[in-house]
Each structure stands twice: as C-alpha cells, then as structure tokens.
Amino acid sequence: MKTQVLVTGANGQLAKTLRDRYIKNNLALDFLFVSKAELDITNKAQLKDLFNHHHFDYCINCAAYTAVDKAESDNETAYSVNVNGSKYLAEVCQLHQTTLIHISTDFVFDGTSKFPYKETDTTKPLSVYGITKLKGEQAIIKNLEKYFIIRTSWLYSEYGHNFMKTMLRLAQEKDQLHVVSDQIGTPTYTGDLIEVIFKLIISRNENYGIYHFSNSGETNWFDFAKAIFEYSHIKTELKPIPTEAYPTSAKRPQYSVLDTTKIKSTLDICIPNWKDTLKVVLSNRLN
C-alpha cells in the first residue's frame, strides 16, 4: 500500500514545487493537495472531518500566513493561521498517528548572532510573523509526538511571490534598482527543500524534532539580486543600500544564516550551494 500524504496550502510556492517534483519523479506516494478554499487549517471541524474520512501517514503543512509586513497590522489573522492552525493540525495528527512535517522560518531568531544558527540556539523573533511562527512550533511540540519542524530561509522558486521573481519583474520595468545589502542570509530553492522532505518520508525517518535547512553558503539581498541578473543576462543597474534606507513595517534579522549540520548528518545528504542551484533554476527558466 502506498504511503498517503496530505499537503496543505496547495496554492503556495512550496506546495506547487512539491506537486511538480512528485509528478516528475513518479514516486510511490499518494498525495492529496488541498488549498485554503478546500481546507482551512484554522477550522478544527474541517480538519477532523477530513482526517476521519481519509488515512494519512504524513501531513506536509505548507499553509501559513507569510505576509511579513502585513502581519504587523493584521496580527489576529497571522496568529490564527500560524499558531491556532498549527495547534489544530498537531492535535488531529496526534489523534490519527500522522507524522507532521511543518515548515518554519529563520525569523524565529533576532539576527544578532555572528555564527550560523543551530536548532538549539535561543529564539527571539523581532516581528509578529516571527512570533506567530515560533508559537506555532511550540504548539506542535506540546501536542504531537511525531513531527519534523523544518526552519528554512529566503525561499524562492518558479512559483508564487518571491525575491527572484520580483527582481526579474522589476528589471523589465526599471533601469536602476536599489537593494538592501546589510541583511545576511541564504537563498533557498524550494526544489532542494522538497527533495529533503521526500527523503524524510521515503526513508521513514523517526528522528523527530526541529531541523534547519537552507542551501549552503551565505549572501545578502544585493548580491543575491546581482547573481539573479548575472545568470539571466540582465543589464539593469543595481545599487546597494542599508536597511535604514528601505524602512518596512516588520523588523528583519540582520543575520539569519542557518546551521544545517543536523539535517545533513541525519539524512546523510550534501546540500548544494545557493549559487549553483540558482544558476540551474534560471537556466531552466530561460530555455
């Protein structure tokens, strides 16, 4: 019998990448993709009804409130989705012995570290988004035994809204762009994250807990944009600016590189450098 996998948040970039990879890889897994319209994770009755009518070995939670700046003024909705939704999922997964794979974020840290963040490092989010994602993690840990919480950073893909797509669009509209150069992190391709999730499921790994995953290496937003333009042969001029010159509603961590030692050793994997992956993604996009 095939492993049954539920994927929430089906219209987001991560779930869309997952669907794409699943079709291409022809995996021995059965996926049910549900959008918010089909399953609202903040509605416990809906969750209970779905789990009562279907058996799921795994649930990959791609549903989240990710509008970082909007969350500052819309904190009730952010809390409802990121905290209550995570709690309800954890409770129903516990009841049905379903393993939850939950996607979290580097925004649970304050960015004051000088070294890549380990899973055991102290969390101190600076924004409503970061606070709600951390509380969502805590709700899962409190209510569920079998879970993988994967913190990741600077996600981009061919789908949805992300930095890579925004830069490519703006390059068509403007001759010059200003990009923040003093926030350090690691761009992470959704396809590389999906491969790790597949490996967790296929290997039936039971080393539950919190994990960090990003591509290897580190950069800043300006150099990330520079690489996007270089690999896409775009001539739009880029100018570096400090964070203060681009004020946002939510405060971002200045440094949010994640230490991926734990997931590499647990799954015995090599993680590609962000530049190598970006080259491939943009090359495929151009061809």
Q: What single DSSP character describes residue 83?
A: I
Identify which of 105, 96, 203, 205 has the alpha carbon closest to the alpha carbon of residue 143. Answer: 96
Measured between alpha carbons, how far is 173 from 19 in angstroms, rounded to an integer? 31
Instruction: Report residues of the chain scoring pLDDT below 70.
Output: 23-27, 286-287
At 70, the amino acid letter reads: K
Q: Is the dihedral of CA 28, 34, 39, 41 positive or negative?
A: positive
Task: Give kind and range of the element (H or E) at residue 188.
Answer: strand 188-189
| pLDDT tens sequence across 148-198 | 999 999 999 988 889 999 999 999 988 899 999 999 999 999 999 999 999
pLDDT of residue 245: 87
pLDDT of residue 107: 97
C-beta neighbour count of 25 within 10 angstroms: 12
pLDDT of residue 58: 97
Q: Residue 246 catalytic?
A: no
pLDDT of residue 21: 78
Domain borders along the chain are: 3-162+187-215+258-272
Measured between alpha carbons, how far is 9 from 162 in angstroms, rounded to an integer? 16
pLDDT of residue 177: 94
pLDDT of residue 286: 57
SS (H, E, C) the chain: CCEEEEEECCCCHHHHHHHHHHHHHCCCEEEEEECCCCCCCCCHHHHHHHHHHCCCCEEEECCCCCCCCHHHCCHHHHHHHHHHHHHHHHHHHHHHCCEEEEEEEHHHCCCCCCCCECCCCCCCCCCHHHHHHHHHHHHHHHHCCCEEEEEECCEECCCCCCHHHHHHHHHHHCCEEEEECCCEECCEEHHHHHHHHHHHHHCCCCCCEEEECCCECCEEHHHHHHHHHHHHCCCCEEEEECHHHCCCCCCCCCECCECCHHHHHHHCCCCCEHHHHHHHHHHHHHC
Measured between alpha carbons, how far is 11 from 51 in angstroms, rounded to an integer? 20
Q: What does pTM read for this prediction?
A: 0.93
C-beta neighbour count of 147 within 10 angstroms: 24
Residue 38 neighbours by CB under 8 Å, 6+ apart: 10
C-beta neighbour count of 1 within 10 angstroms: 6
Q: Which of 22, 88, 117, 129 is catalytic?
A: 129
Fold of 3-162+187-215+258-272: Rossmann fold (3.40.50)
pLDDT of residue 175: 87
